[in-house]
């Protein structure tokens, strides 16, 4: 991009219109496009701008730059009071053949993240929470650096200090010299930032309300896990448990995230890695009520969070809920799933209806959902499992016929290993051990349980939802529940785009601060998506970040030719 000046004279007064332009390739060759009109400047204002490019940001914001005072001219080129001499002292002939570019650095992605940081006014908040002291770099600036680095998918503070920071334009954007950024400073900043988690969460909620008009009637809650590299011996929360990352050999912590239906993160809690999801509900509800008061919000959770104790707890707190139910509850609605009447269509291939649930709680409603596309996918998955299990059992049968002396315990272990590997298919595939006259295993009879298979097929693609809301429209209730995908999308963004995993810290407070930085980066990311949606730019922040990441910051060295001396101007 470049600036282009267009001059115009009206009633004897000269004006200069400045345009921000770019060159694009077209079928008829390169053409210049006007990106933005920066306004007009009279001669006095133009003279103030000619001293440098410091006023360019003001022009881009639509502000009128202040006139610059005249500076003393070079000898022989006029006096301070001579306007012509002052103007001449600001222009020098350039040697364009010797022009060169140095220090190419990443600019676009860092600038985008830092702009979101300022737009959310996190700099103002942390400026008050972390006042500057005797440190050479303020903690608020270091916290911004940590969050921007996480937004740019940097995996560790050590990598930021040793490699990444030098390759970016953050030294200009933040005003922090590269020599002042080291791993110790970043680690200490984590310690400072971790103490203000509640204030940061409350501030983000306020900014969401002011910027996007977000209401907090619905709260989505879900749990994920992230694993450690190393033993994490000094962190009592680091335990082995059910890993969503397929890292069962690594220690982990569980993270409970509360967000809005738009996917904007509100708060989080960190639990021990071996904590069951269902046992975290009471803690997270109490934490939210302590921070934001006890109100009749609607909690939306999947069936992994549901237990009768949790439902009773929510009813006692006068909270509304919309939750999934265990698959076993669908058995009471086998016949209903086969009926073709009284269903309401949500979209093509998806239908819902209100049903009565035996032994249901008073005041509750149940929504039965069936999806043709999901049923086809799950049936195909079941068929594939059945074929693989049947093939494995046939191989065991062939082995038994070759080795009739195999003992019963060995045969049982081999069969049980495959039944455990394919649990869904084990419900509809039956294996019977055949024995000879001496009681030894001589083969295997594999058959299908037709009735069990038919029931399993009828339940595929079906869901049963449970709620105590007054709403009676099953279509609206299903749409509320499906918003849980926003929480799942937030976890995917945090893990894939922001580098939540793995965790390299071993101290408990450092781990909490690391997750807080990832939470702030997630807030920037989801805020960007909301802004894009409001401007009609879609909701794929990943594509926008990829595009702006190509913008670089460079130093252009322009040698100046003079009669007596040659100097260089850097800009």
Answer yes or no: is 425 within a domain: yes
**Maximum average pLDDT range among 122-126, 217-221, 326-330:** 122-126
Report the domain count for the chain.
4
Q: Is the pLDDT of residue 65 over 60?
A: no
| Residue that terminates a domain, selected from 65, 91, 117 | 91
Mean pLDDT, residues 349-358 taken together: 89
- Reported as a single tens digit per residue, the pLDDT across 186-219 is 999 999 999 999 999 999 999 999 988 888 888 9
Answer yes or no: is 339 within a domain: no
In this structure, the answer to whether residues 226 and 319 fall within a common structural domain is yes
Which residue is associated with the tokens 């009768």? 308
In this structure, the answer to whether residues 87 and 18 fall within a common structural domain is yes
In this structure, the answer to whether residues 233 and 287 fall within a common structural domain is yes
For the chain, the average pLDDT equals 83
113 confidence band (pLDDT: 50, 70, 90): very high
Cα separation, 490 vs 257, in Å, equals 9
**Maximum average pLDDT range among 291-300, 334-343, 482-491:** 482-491
Q: Give the pLDDT confidence score for residue 83 in this predicted structure.
A: 42
In this structure, the answer to whether residues 528 and 480 fall within a common structural domain is no
In this structure, the answer to whether residues 125 and 156 fall within a common structural domain is yes
Q: Is the pLDDT of residue 404 over 80?
A: no
99 confidence band (pLDDT: 50, 70, 90): confident
Q: Give the pLDDT confidence score for residue 165 in this predicted structure.
A: 95
Helix (H), strand (E) at residue 229: none
Residues in the chain: 571
In this structure, the answer to whether residues 233 and 289 fall within a common structural domain is yes
Burial profile 13-50: b = 16 or more Cβ within 10 angstroms, e = fewer: eebbebbbeeeeeeeeeeeeeeeeebbebeeebbbbbe
Mean pLDDT, residues 536-549 taken together: 90
Instruction: With beta carbons less than 8 A apart as the criterion, state whether 205 and 216 touch.
Output: yes
Q: Give the pLDDT confidence score for residue 515 in this predicted structure.
A: 95
- Reported as a single tens digit per residue, the pLDDT across 433-446 is 887 777 677 778 88
Q: Give the pLDDT confidence score for residue 568 in this predicted structure.
A: 47
- Domain containing residue 493: 214-331+468-505
- Phi then psi dihedrals of residue 311, to 5 deg: -65, -45
Answer yes or no: is 207 within a domain: no
In this structure, the answer to whether residues 315 and 391 fall within a common structural domain is no
| Per-residue 3-state assignment (H helix, E strand, C coil) for 79-121 | CCCCHHHHHHCCCCCECHHHCEEEEEEECHHHHHHHHHHHHCC
- 242, 243, 249, 250: CA torsion to nearest 10: -120
Answer yes or no: is 96 within a domain: no
63 confidence band (pLDDT: 50, 70, 90): low
- Reported as a single tens digit per residue, the pLDDT across 438-468 is 767 777 888 877 565 566 656 778 889 999 9
Task: Output the domain CATH number for residue 482.
Answer: 3.30.420.10
Q: Which of 151-160, 215-224, 354-363, 445-454 has the lowest mean pLDDT?
A: 445-454
Instruction: Tell whether the torsion through CA atoms of 258, 373, 455 and 359 is positive or negative.
Output: positive
User: For residues 72 and 25, which has the higher predicted lDDT (pLDDT)?
Assistant: 25
Give the pairing of strands 344-347 and 350-355.
antiparallel
Cα separation, 385 vs 422, in Å, equals 6
Answer yes or no: is 220 within a domain: yes
Answer yes or no: is 564 within a domain: no
Q: Give the pLDDT confidence score for residue 455 in this predicted structure.
A: 64
């Amino acid at each position: 991009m470049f600036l282009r000046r267009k001059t115009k004279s009206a009633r004897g007064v000269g004006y200069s219109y400045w345009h921000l332009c770019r060159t694009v390739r077209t079928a008829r060759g390169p053409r210049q496009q006007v990106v933005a009109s920066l306004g007009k400047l009279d001669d006095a204002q133009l003279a103030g701008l000619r001293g440098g490019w410091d006023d360019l940001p003001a022009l881009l914001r639509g502000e009128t730059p202040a006139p610059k005072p005249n500076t003393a001219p070079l000898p022989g080129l006029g006096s301070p009071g001579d306007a012509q001499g002052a103007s001449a002292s600001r222009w020098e002939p350039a040697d364009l053949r010797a022009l060169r570019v140095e220090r190419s650095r990443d600019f676009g992605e860092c600038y985008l993240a830092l702009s979101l940081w300022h737009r959310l006014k996190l700099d103002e908040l942390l400026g008050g929470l972390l006042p500057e002291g005797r440190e050479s770099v303020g903690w608020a600036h270091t916290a911004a650096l940590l969050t921007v680095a996480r937004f740019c998918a940097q995996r560790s503070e050590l990598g930021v200090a040793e490699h990444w920071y030098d390759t970016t334009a953050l030294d200009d954007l933040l005003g922090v010299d590269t020599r002042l950024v080291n791993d110790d400073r970043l680690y200490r900043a984590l310690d400072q930032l971790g103490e203000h988690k509640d204030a940061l969460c409350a501030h983000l909620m306020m900014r969401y309300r002011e910027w996007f008009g977000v209401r907090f009637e619905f709260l989505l809650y879900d749990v994920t896990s992230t694993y450690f590299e190393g033993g994490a011996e000094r962190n009592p929360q680091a335990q082995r448990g059910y890993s969503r990352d397929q890292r069962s050999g690594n220690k982990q912590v569980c993270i409970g995230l509360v967000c809005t239906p738009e996917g904007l993160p509100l708060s989080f809690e960190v639990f021990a890695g071996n904590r069951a999801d269902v046992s975290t509900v009471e803690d997270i509800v109490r934490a939210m009520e302590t921070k934001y008061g006890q109100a009749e919000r609607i909690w939306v959770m999947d069936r992994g969070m549901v237990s009768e104790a949790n439902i009773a707890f929510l009813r006692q707190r006068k909270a509304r809920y919309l939750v999934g139910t265990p698959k076993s509850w669908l058995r009471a609605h086998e016949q209903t799933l086969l009926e073709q009447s009284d269903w309401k269509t949500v979209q093509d291939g998806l239908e819902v209806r209100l049903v009565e649930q035996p032994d249901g709680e008073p005041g509750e409603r149940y929504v039965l959902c069936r999806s043709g596309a999901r049923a086809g996918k799950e049936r195909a998955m079941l068929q594939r499992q059945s074929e693989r299990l049947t093939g494995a059992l046939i191989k065991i049968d062939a082995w038994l016929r070759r080795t009739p002396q195999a003992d019963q315990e060995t045969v049982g272990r081999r069969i049980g290993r495959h039944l455990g590997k394919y649990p869904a298919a084990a419900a509809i595939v039956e294996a019977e051990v055949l024995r000879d006259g001496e009681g030894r295993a001589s083969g295997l009879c594999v058959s299908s349980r037709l009735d069990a298979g038919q029931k399993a097929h009828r339940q595929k693609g079906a869901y049963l939802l449970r709620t105590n809301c007054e709403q009676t429209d099953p279509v609206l209730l299903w749409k509320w529940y499906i918003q849980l995908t926003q929480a799942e999308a937030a976890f995917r963004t945090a893990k894939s785009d922001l580098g939540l995993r793995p965790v390299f810290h071993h101290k408990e407070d450092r781990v909490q601060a690391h997750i807080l930085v990832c939470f702030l980066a997630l807030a920037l990311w989801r805020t960007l998506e909301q802004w894009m949606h409001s401007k009609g730019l879609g909701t794929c922040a990943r594509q926008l970040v990829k595009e702006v990441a190509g913008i670089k910051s460079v130093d252009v060295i322009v040698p100046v030719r003079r009669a007596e001396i040659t100097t260089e101007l850097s800009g």
